[in-house]
Amino acid sequence: MNFASATHQTPARGRLAFALAEVLVSGALMAIVFVTLYTGMSSGFAVTKLARENLRATQIMLERMEGIRLYNWNQLCYSNMIPATFNAYYYLAITNGQPTGINYQVTISIAAPVLNPSANYSDLMRAITVTLYWINVNGAALIVHRCSMTTYFVRDGVQNYVYSN
């Protein structure tokens, strides 16, 4: 008896098709890959946006600090030439009606420094702090960011204290 003719052979067309379980598994794997790819790209864009906002905040603080270096002692302590608060924007509008991006709320404080240990020349110094606040919209959540920079201003300059002793 010839057993080869008695066995059931699958038609060629049936061997080329996929089973339903294989199709479902591959569909689930593709869904996981696309969701992961989307999540990675969106979080990458969010990190880049936050880095740009932080960089612009640092630029605004440095711009103010460099401007304050140009003042003399009387202008710094006894005039109102330096505004206590103002707004700066992510980018300036060229014409009215254009969007300005993120609004940075800037606060500048000038006060006597707190030195530890205290020094006899502390009344001839001022601590200048520039603080920025801005709001970042992350989906439905509002996130308030804060960035600050402090420097010291000396009445007669640092060289007078260093070289006069």
Q: Which of 128, 59, 65 is nearest to 88 (CA)?
A: 59
> Poorest-confidence range of 1-15, 37-51, 99-113, 131-145?
1-15
Bond before 11 cis per omega within 30 degrees: no
* pLDDT single digits (tens) 72-121: 888 888 888 889 999 988 776 666 767 678 889 999 999 999 888 888 88
**Phi and psi at residue 37, in whole multiples of 5°?**
-65, -45
β pairing state of 125-138 and 103-111: antiparallel
What pLDDT score does 104 carry? Answer: 92
